[in-house]
């Protein structure tokens, strides 16, 4: 649940649809519209990822975004629908799926800490379209190099520091073999291995991912502490055990590598993550009268 919600945030950022008004979000937007909204979401999240277009189901003419990303990651959508249903019971047609997603991701990660790890501004509205092309155009590939990552983030008004900080989300969750096994078996098309990948770790990964075509096996992205939201992602990176090329890329630039060193400090990581994810959560949001409040997150009204 924690991982899933987080990925949704990840996708929400890069899969943003529509106009970029940016502002318009505020703290506790629902205070006078649905007083308990945030608490209902928190409670529901504890019990069981911007607009929420990824939640739309595919239709015959429109392969929805949720089918564009690795199955396993997003097939557990029901959790978000359940949380939304809880909110609908109390305040029908008031709280957007995009806000439910943003709050649930925060609450899922924060649960263990018994305090919210970052502030989530609300007032997002949901998009009315959901297209696979938008995801594919916006989500960076795990084989991206530093230059491409920086450009991609810059396209969303995120800087190098945000890139390094937000990549720290890979402290939780898993990656499927097909997202990185080129690094093990065919890095430059000559049956070779990525020299920047820790050789000992590569040998281990080969025992897990036995071929280039394996798309079902997955491994932790942060093997030091896969389930914990902490700064061990950066420790893993410095051991040259970053799973994706996009992770390893953060060490290929001096400025970026210097930021990695700073984020080994967990308090610093938490503080910076709170800042960057808030920034990310304001990108391309629909507010005011734009879009709609979806009744069910997986289908437009
Ligand atoms: C820097 C560019 C990024 C790239 C190239 C990238 C790529 C990926 C890939 C390929 C996966 C594995 C999916 C799978 O194989 O199942 C993944 C998982 C994940 N990503 Fe990212 N990501 C990026 C940034 C982010 C950001 C900004 C966040 C959140 C702030 C994030 C959060 C996650 C989480 C939590 C998972 C684990 C999913 C799970 O365990 O089911 N990622 N990412
Ligand atoms: C949330 O859960 C707490 C603890 O179980 C409970 O006291 C509170 O009434 C719940 N809030 C809502 C809005 O359901
Ligand atoms: C959407 O997908 C969910 C499962 O992900 C399914 O239960 C639901 O019936 C689908 N809704 C529509 C309108 O196709
Ligand atoms: C697909 O598009 C055609 C033509 O635009 C339309 O007639 C049909 O109803 C659409 N089907 C679905 C399932 O949306
Ligand atoms: C992908 O989803 C389909 C249908 O939900 C399921 O049968 C299949 O096992 C899933 N594949 C993976 C790798 O999770
Ligand atoms: C980074 O990747 C892009 C796109 O694949 C490529 O055009 C560029 O040459 C690469 N840059 C470096 C420094 O390898
Ligand atoms: C950045 O946006 C421009 C214009 O939309 C696009 O052509 C380019 O491919 C994007 N770059 C990346 C790395 O996403
Ligand atoms: C490795 O890559 C090369 C060049 O893309 C390709 O011709 C070859 O078939 C690949 N090897 C395997 C085992 O897929
Ligand atoms: C995994 O690979 C198999 C065989 O190449 C293919 O049929 C299947 O659709 C793939 N599944 C995913 C989730 O990409
Ligand atoms: C490779 O990873 C191991 C931990 O598994 C670590 O002790 C070692 O220092 C790493 N080697 C390099 C070159 O980063
Ligand atoms: C990066 O840092 C190293 C060592 O600090 C230095 O030797 C190198 O010239 C720097 N590279 C760039 C591009 O600044």
DSSP-assigned letters across all residues of 103-167: HHHHHHHHGGGTS-SS---B--BB-S---HHHHHHHSPPTT--HHHHHHHHHHTT--HHHHHHHH
Q: Is the CB of 36 under 6 A from ligand 2?
A: yes
Structure confidence at residue 21 as a pLDDT band (50, 70, 90): very low
Report whether pLDDT(206) > 90: yes
70 labelled ligand-binding: no
On average, the pLDDT of the chain sits at: 83
Structure tokens at 155: 């396209």
Please name the residue that has the structure tokens 């006078």: 32
> If you take atom 12 of ligand 9, which residue's CA is the nearest one?
215
Give me the percent of the chain exceeding a pLDDT of 70: 80
Higher pLDDT, 160 or 74: 160
Q: Residue 6: its pLDDT value, please?
A: 42
Contact (Cβ atoms closer than 8 angstroms) between residue 98 and residue 50:
yes
Say if residue 34's pLDDT is above 90. Answer: yes
pLDDT at 139 over 90: no
Question: What are φ and ψ of residue 286, in 5° steps?
Answer: -95, 135
Q: Give yes or no for residue 216 CB within 6 A of ligand 5.
A: yes
Nearest CA to ligand 1 atom 8: 142
Looking at residue 71, its pLDDT comes to: 44
Atom of ligand 8 nearest to the CA of 212: 14
Q: What is the pLDDT of residue 172?
A: 84
156-180 pLDDT tens trace: 999 999 999 999 999 987 888 999 9
- What's the sign of the alpha-carbon dihedral 247, 248, 252, 257? positive
Looking at 213-217, 279-283, 284-288, which range is the least confident one? 213-217
User: Pocket around ligand 8: residues whose beta carbon is below 6 Å from it?
Assistant: 186, 189, 212
The band of 46, judged by pLDDT with boundaries at 50, 70 and 90, is: confident
Residue 69 pLDDT grade (very low, low, confident, very high; cuts 50, 70, 90):
very low
Percent of the chain with pLDDT over 90: 61
Q: How far apart are CA 250 and CA 175, in angstroms?
A: 17
Are 81 and 283 contacting, i.e. CB atoms less than 8 angstroms apart? no
Q: What is the pLDDT of residue 77?
A: 65
Predicted confidence at residue 61, as pLDDT, reads 36
Angle between helices 97-110 and 78-90 (to 10 degrees): 110
Contact 196, 250 (CB under 8 A): no
pLDDT value for 132: 57
- What residue's CA is closest to ligand 2, atom 3? 43
Cβ count near 169 (within 10 Å): 23
Q: What's the pLDDT at 93?
A: 97
Flag whether 65 is marked binding.
yes
For the chain, give the number of residues.
301
Stretch 263-286: mean pLDDT, rounded? 96
Output b/e per residue, 212-222; b: 16+ Cβ within 10 A: eeebeebbbbb
- Sign of the C-alpha dihedral, residues 154, 157, 160, 164? negative
Q: What is the C-alpha radius of gyration for the chain, rounded to an integer number of angstroms?
A: 19
Nearest CA to ligand 7 atom 10: 152
Per the annotation, does 140 bind a ligand? yes
pLDDT tens digits, 77-121: 677 888 999 999 999 999 999 999 899 889 888 888 889 999 999
Banded pLDDT at 47 (limits 50, 70, 90)? confident
Domains and CATH numbers, the chain: 2-137 (1.10.520.10), 140-277 (1.10.420.10)
Q: How far is CA 154 from CA 45, 160, 197, 250, in A?
A: 32, 8, 27, 15
The predicted model gives 131-135 an average pLDDT of 62
- Residue with more model confidence, 299 or 133: 299
pLDDT tier at 16, thresholds 50, 70, 90: very low
Which ligand is closest to the CA of 182, given by its number?
8
Residue 147 CA: which ligand 6 atom is closest?
Answer: 1
Distance (angstroms) between ligand 10 centre and the Cα of 181 equals 19
CA distance 141 to 66: 16
Q: Which residues line ligand 10 (CB under 6 A)?
A: 198, 200-201, 239-241
Which two structure tokens, joined as six digits, stand for 146? Answer: 């530093």
Q: Return the number of other C-beta atoms located less than 10 Å from residue 61's C-beta.
A: 5
């Amino acid at each position: 649940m924690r991982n899933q919600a987080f990925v949704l945030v990840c996708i929400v950022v890069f899969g943003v649809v529509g106009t970029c008004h940016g502002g318009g979000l505020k703290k506790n937007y629902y205070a006078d519209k649905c007083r308990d909204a945030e608490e209902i979401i928190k409670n529901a999240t504890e019990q069981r990822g911007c607009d929420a277009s990824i939640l739309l189901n595919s239709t015959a003419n429109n392969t929805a975004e949720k089918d564009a990303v690795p199955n396993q990651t997003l097939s557990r959508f029901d959790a978000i629908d359940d949380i939304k249903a809880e909110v609908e019971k109390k305040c029908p047609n008031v709280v957007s799926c995009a806000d439910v997603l943003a709050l649930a991701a925060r609450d899922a990660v924060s649960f263990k800490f018994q305090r919210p790890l970052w502030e989530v501004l609300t007032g997002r509205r949901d998009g009315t379209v959901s297209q696979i092309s938008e995801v594919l155009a916006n989500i960076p590939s795990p084989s991206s190099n530093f230059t491409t990552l920086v450009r991609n983030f810059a396209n969303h008004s995120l800087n190098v520091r945000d890139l390094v900080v937000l990549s720290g989300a890979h402290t939780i969750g898993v990656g499927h073999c097909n997202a990185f096994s080129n690094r093990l078996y065919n890095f430059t098309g000559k049956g070779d291995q990525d020299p920047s990948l820790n050789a000992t770790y590569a040998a281990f990964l080969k025992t897990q991912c036995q071929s280039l075509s394996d798309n079902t096996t997955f491994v932790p992205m942060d093997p030091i502490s896969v389930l914990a939201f902490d700064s061990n992602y950066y420790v893993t990176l410095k051991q040259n055990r970053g799973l994706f090329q996009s992770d390893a890329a953060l060490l290929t630039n001096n400025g970026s590598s210097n930021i990695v060193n700073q984020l080994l400090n967990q308090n610093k990581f938490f503080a910076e993550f709170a800042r960057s994810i808030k920034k990310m959560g304001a990108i391309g949001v629909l507010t005011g009268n734009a879009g709609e409040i979806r009744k069910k997150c997986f289908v437009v009204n």
